[in-house]
Amino acid sequence: MVSGDSAPISSKCPKCGHSRVVSYSRSDLNERLRTGEAIEVMCITCSETWSLADKEREAVAQGLKRLIEQRVELGPEKKSTRSSNARRPRGGHRGGRG
């Protein structure tokens, strides 16, 4: 199951020449890139549907790769291991009075 993992894709409409953005889920994109299935974009103004060109597909693939890599690099580079060695006094002198 994909939980809100979407990747926006923009492509120019062959009819009106405006950039249209559609969002696919990342897993869906990955699948399409792998299988070679068309990634379709739709222009609501012209109600035109077209599929991404090879170049655009490549760009999408690169973008996806980056996304995945970013996820790894998001964390702090330096690994600071805070060792919490709490020393406990053992068998010290007790102030027992009385």
Q: Which residues contact Zn ion (rule: CB under 5 A)?
A: 13, 15-16, 43, 45-46
Q: Count of CB atoms within 10 A of residue 60's CB?
A: 21
Distance, in Å, from the CA atom of 72 to the CA atom of 4, rounded to the nearest integer, reads: 18
**Cα–Cα distances in angstroms (integers) from residue 91 to residues 11, 43, 87, in the given order:** 74, 78, 13
CB of 60 to Zn ion, least distance (A): 20
CB of 39 to Zn ion, least distance (A): 17
CB of 67 to Zn ion, least distance (A): 27
Q: Judged by CB, which is closer to Zn ion: 22, or 33?
A: 22
Query: Residue 57: which H helix or E strand, with range?
Result: helix 54-73
Beta strands in 1-98 (DSSP E): 6-12, 19-25, 40-43, 48-51
DSSP tag of 16: T
Q: Judged by CB, which is closer to Zn ion: 33, or 40?
A: 40
Q: Judged by CB, which is closer to Zn ion: 29, or 41?
A: 41
CB of 43 to Zn ion, least distance (A): 3
Q: Judged by CB, which is closer to Zn ion: 53, or 67?
A: 53
